[in-house]
Structure 1
């Protein structure tokens, strides 16, 4: 797909097949279903979903193929609006049609905003209702995918804000937020994605953690000062 960086490609691949890269979390149970959905109903929906997204595992999938998958996922959502991973994979498929540089621009405002809406809906449907709830394996992989994907989208939004450019397709709250606050939210999403099993999210959580970045900046400044003092001593 055009416009995808190496990082994008890794994330896209892992989100379509999260079981391939996610590690087990302490929350996962042996169950596979989703909240409020019987196992047989879940199995039927999952089988349909896997058939839809199987055609998108190839990097050379045509825009027409992607559009067909999006339509099929939309039909699945209409048929079963409580099926969380259909929203996540619809966001994923839609992302294949938007080059990285066009995310949250005027011409792609509606599509970009829909990405965030689908991810939020998937998180809402798959998320635990209390802190002691034991999640099914599928819940964990869905949440890992959703939080990781949203984390990268928030980083993109933070980058646009940092360049003093207009962000399109987002809420008023995000439009008026600072780049630092949006990046902090991205870090929280990565931390959540890592908690649910995404290795990529765990790495990004460390890299974007504001306290870690602050400590890193302090250390760099201290080393710089120490080097300058050492050079001054050598010259004297």
Structure 2
């Protein structure tokens, strides 16, 4: 049986391509210039200071890189990052690494309570017991993004900037997606007071998914391939169009 092709305008075709094809994400809109200094001038860190900072960061990370670091070791690493950030408050990478260290601390605290990481892994960060640490994690990720993002989307970025922005947007998008799933898991139950990060309280699961999709889009824009795919999967318009297409195909088959 012959089939007819839908009559799509050029604009409609472009919209559908952007919605469903991760490779069409406008990552090409970001200009990465390898000749640029690692951080924008607003970071205010000299080349000599930067070399010292990198070594200091690496030293802190080595403390927690072994198998099963203790809570005391992780708390010491957090304190070291606190001191580093107090001295260099405009250094984006330190906020990223402190956020990662705080996430590890949340996991360790939960393990000590449950002795079962698998059953608690999804919702651990979004309980009232972890709300203070979760708030700090989201604040750190937001600060890293704020410090590293160029003033204009048209401004070129360095390799270091692009890599950090890709990773941090993807990290935050992943946490937002987990927050949305945690929110769905408590539907029909009374939500705990003070549950999760302060800035996410009161938001519905759909709102959290949209925020995650935006972060994945930006993570993909700066070069993270996984984020590009997740941006498509979590895009509310893509999901809506996908449902419409599936329904149209079902009717076509039935017809």
Question: With structure 2 as the length reference, what TM-score do the two structures score?
Answer: 0.72
What residue ranges of structure 1 are gaps of 5+ in the alignment?
1-22, 231-236
Cα distance, 1:159 vs structure 2: 1.6
Does the Cα contact within 8 Å between 1:33 and 1:39 map onto a contact in 2?
A: no
DSSP 3-state at the match of 1:97:
helix
Matched, 1:180 2:211: no
Alignment root-mean-square deviation, CA: 2.4
Structure 2 Cα separation of the partners of residues 148 and 67 of structure 1 = 25
Match of 2:83 in 1: 75
Give the direction of change, closer, same or farther, for the CA distance of 1:60–1:28 in structure 2 (3 Å limit).
farther
Greater CA deviation, 179-188 or 60-69?
Answer: 60-69
**Which structure has the larger Rg?**
2
2:244 maps to which of 193, 218, 229: 218
Cα distance, 1:175 vs structure 2: 2.4
DSSP 3-state at the match of 2:197:
coil
Q: How many residues align?
A: 206
Structure 2 Cα separation of the partners of residues 175 and 225 of structure 1 = 41
Question: With structure 1 as the length reference, what TM-score do the two structures score?
Answer: 0.77
Cα distance, 1:200 vs structure 2: 2.2
What residue ranges of structure 2 are gaps of 5+ in the alignment?
1-26, 108-120
Greater CA deviation, 75-84 or 24-33?
Answer: 24-33
CA deviation digits over 1:92-145, x for unaligned, max 9? 111112243211211111011111001111111111122332222222222122
Matched, 1:130 2:156: no
Matched, 1:152 2:174: yes
Match of 1:90 in 2: 98
Match of 1:29 in 2: 34
Does the Cα contact within 8 Å between 2:60 and 2:80 map onto a contact in 1?
A: yes
Match of 1:116 in 2: 138
